[in-house]
Amino acid sequence: MHQPSFPRSRTVFKDIRVFDGTRLIPRASVVVDGGSIAQVVEDGTISGHPEDLCVTGPDLTLLPGLIDSHTHTWHDFVLTDALRFGVTTTIDMVTPVPVATRLREEQRQGSVYHRADMLSAGAAATVPGGHGARGGSAVPTISTPEQAPDFVNRRVEEGSDFIKIILEPGVGRLEAIPTLDRDTLHALVGAAHHCGKIAVAHALSRECALEAIRAGVDGLAHSIMEGQPDEELVGEASRRGIFLIPTLTAIEGALATGAGAELASHPVLGVLLSPYWREHLASSSRALPTAPLRFEIACSFARQAFLQGVPILAGTDTPNPGTAAGASLHRELELLVACGQAPLEALRAATSVPATRFGLMDRGRILPGLRSDLLLVTGDPSLDILATRQVAGVWKHGRLYSSNASSLV
Ligand SMILES: [Zn+2]
């Protein structure tokens, strides 16, 4: 990553609470020099320069910029709007390849201060007529195990950061749809690993999730919504060390539970929402009669997986109906806590855990040498997860993007 081109200046976050990606430090100071974190000093004083920008104040918590581990970047504004809410990195689980290529190239040039960064799967592995390849959309497809090496190589050539695999026989639909067979699934995972890429599966039923786990995928892009998350499934997920991105917000979005309206009326988040996302939050994909039951199943799998040590990653599946870029990650954190995670664990699910699992070793923590992507909030989110919504300032690569706390600076 490149250093910013503006004159180097230091920002000092002085005597505030710091969540460093893994633990809470009750009182610390953090020095940011350009695009990097220069110093983290616990309980001590740092020597300042007169030209330093000093940020301090009562009841503030500094966190690493948040990572949304499941998005789709159909438009640039999915990334620009996410940043307002403290989401500095998104993990895109399928987007048109030209869009992913352009955004990735701009990031490589180091000029992206106005939007969240994106890691992307690009095109997903699906069968002709399968999920993601319906309605005549011109996306690459795969039908046989023999095609797997070439299919994956093409994705790697296009720049895919990881391989997304879709196992979808039609969960929640009225009709079955074609999907990958077991041999092709195994061949895809093998080809991804051969290329040094992780494989992440869309699998919404117990059977599909179990099949994906046994094929060796590295993670599941959703919780399940069909079948019971029993000991066989959860135990297999735990033993094989996969991660889970429950995307409870997206599942909830199909229910029209009113959570979207609650986010839209939040005194801080609501002000940051554009009219587009405000309307989108109120939308619902389809009112399935079985939706409440499906939400219960999804929460139950997330809860059991977490209790058995499966790493949980916070993701929203924005822009699905009922979600809003950036804002919905705050709702996902609340739902993870409702599923049994401690607030501190939920915070890890949006910072250090996804950074580790997706190989983003330059972010997700507040440590010297790492990127200065930062979120400042009022309150202590390690005690009350809703405090993440009290956005006081966002820094992308050391540059102040937005601040509701100009009086603090
Ligand atoms: Zn998705």
Residue 93 has pLDDT above 60, yes or no: yes
3 located within any domain: no
Spatial CA neighbour of 383 closest among 154, 14, 61, 149:
61
5-55 pLDDT per residue, tens: 444 579 999 999 999 999 999 999 999 998 999 999 997 677 777 788 889
374 located within any domain: yes
Task: Kindly state whether residues 299 and 323 are assigned to the same domain.
Answer: yes
User: 128: CA distance to ligand 1 center in Å?
Assistant: 19
Identify the residue with better confidence: 136 or 140.
Answer: 140
Task: Kindly state whether residues 33 and 80 are assigned to the same domain.
Answer: no
270-305 pLDDT per residue, tens: 999 999 999 998 887 665 666 677 889 999 999 999
Task: Kindly state whether residues 292 and 339 are assigned to the same domain.
Answer: yes
Task: Kindly state whether residues 25 and 157 are assigned to the same domain.
Answer: no
Which amino acid is it at 64?
Answer: P
User: 155: CA distance to ligand 1 center in Å?
Assistant: 18
Q: Name the region of 249 (left: φ>0; alpha: ψ -120 to 50; beta: rest).
A: alpha
User: 317: CA distance to ligand 1 center in Å?
Assistant: 5
Task: Kindly state whether residues 75 and 56 are assigned to the same domain.
Answer: no
Task: Kindly state whether residues 27 and 142 are assigned to the same domain.
Answer: no
User: 322: CA distance to ligand 1 center in Å?
Assistant: 13
User: 202: CA distance to ligand 1 center in Å?
Assistant: 8
Residue 101's Cβ-count burial label (10 Å; 0-12, 13-18, 19+) is middle
- Tell me the CATH number at 385: 2.30.40.10
2 located within any domain: no
Tell me how far apart the alpha carbons of residues 45 and 258 are, in angstroms, rounded to a whole number.
Answer: 46
User: 70: CA distance to ligand 1 center in Å?
Assistant: 6
- Tell me the CATH number at 89: 3.20.20.140
Task: Kindly state whether residues 276 and 385 are assigned to the same domain.
Answer: no
Out of 357, 380, 396, a domain closes at 357
User: 133: CA distance to ligand 1 center in Å?
Assistant: 14
Residues flanking ion ligand 1, Cβ below 5 Å: 93, 317
Residue 76 has pLDDT above 80, yes or no: yes
Q: Name the region of 317 (left: φ>0; alpha: ψ -120 to 50; beta: rest).
A: left
Residue 361 in tokens: 């070793």
Task: Kindly state whether residues 55 and 75 are assigned to the same domain.
Answer: no
Task: Kindly state whether residues 208 and 270 are assigned to the same domain.
Answer: yes
Chain-wide mean pLDDT for the chain?
Answer: 92
Identify the residue with better confidence: 241 or 409.
Answer: 241
4 located within any domain: no
Please name the residue that has the structure tokens 């399968």.
Answer: 130
Q: Which of 38-42, 131-135, 138-142 has the lowest mean pLDDT?
A: 131-135
User: 68: CA distance to ligand 1 center in Å?
Assistant: 12
Tell me how far apart the alpha carbons of residues 19 and 154 are, in angstroms, rounded to a whole number.
Answer: 40
User: 222: CA distance to ligand 1 center in Å?
Assistant: 8
49 located within any domain: yes
User: 318: CA distance to ligand 1 center in Å?
Assistant: 7
User: 215: CA distance to ligand 1 center in Å?
Assistant: 20
User: 169: CA distance to ligand 1 center in Å?
Assistant: 16
Domain boundaries, position 200: 66-357
User: 24: CA distance to ligand 1 center in Å?
Assistant: 31
Contact predicate 253/260, CB 8 Å? yes
Tell me how far apart the alpha carbons of residues 204 and 169 are, in angstroms, rounded to a whole number.
Answer: 9
Out of 318, 338, 357, a domain closes at 357
Q: How many domains does the chain have?
A: 2
Contact predicate 49/323, CB 8 Å? no
Tell me how far apart the alpha carbons of residues 178 and 141 are, in angstroms, rounded to a whole number.
Answer: 12
pLDDT band (50, 70, 90) for residue 1? very low
pLDDT value at position 376?
Answer: 97
User: 185: CA distance to ligand 1 center in Å?
Assistant: 18
User: 63: CA distance to ligand 1 center in Å?
Assistant: 26
Task: Kindly state whether residues 266 and 288 are assigned to the same domain.
Answer: yes
Task: Kindly state whether residues 214 and 334 are assigned to the same domain.
Answer: yes
Residue 12's Cβ-count burial label (10 Å; 0-12, 13-18, 19+) is buried
- pTM equals 0.95
Instruction: Specify the 3-state DSSP secondary structure of 82.
Output: helix
Helical packing angle, 291-307 and 231-239, nearest 10°: 40
pLDDT band (50, 70, 90) for residue 3? very low
72 located within any domain: yes
User: 121: CA distance to ligand 1 center in Å?
Assistant: 11
Tell me how far apart the alpha carbons of residues 274 and 279 are, in angstroms, rounded to a whole number.
Answer: 9
Sheet holding 66-71, edge to edge: 66-71, 87-92, 117-120
Spatial CA neighbour of 377 closest among 17, 8, 14:
17
Peptide linkage before 4 cis (omega within 30 of 0) = no
pLDDT band (50, 70, 90) for residue 375? very high
**What is 169-213 written as a DSSP string?**
S-TTSSS------HHHHHHHHHHHHHTT--EEEEE-BHHHHHHHH
Q: Which of 12-21, 27-36, 133-142, 351-360 has the lowest mean pLDDT?
A: 133-142
Task: Kindly state whether residues 261 and 399 are assigned to the same domain.
Answer: no
321 located within any domain: yes
Please name the residue that has the structure tokens 């992206």.
Answer: 112
User: 5: CA distance to ligand 1 center in Å?
Assistant: 35
73 located within any domain: yes
User: 320: CA distance to ligand 1 center in Å?
Assistant: 8
Q: What phi and psi values does residue 138 have, to the nearest 5 degrees?
A: -85, 80
Residue 283 in tokens: 């939308």
Tell me how far apart the alpha carbons of residues 262 and 391 are, in angstroms, rounded to a whole number.
Answer: 16
Instruction: Specify the 3-state DSSP secondary structure of 53.
Output: strand
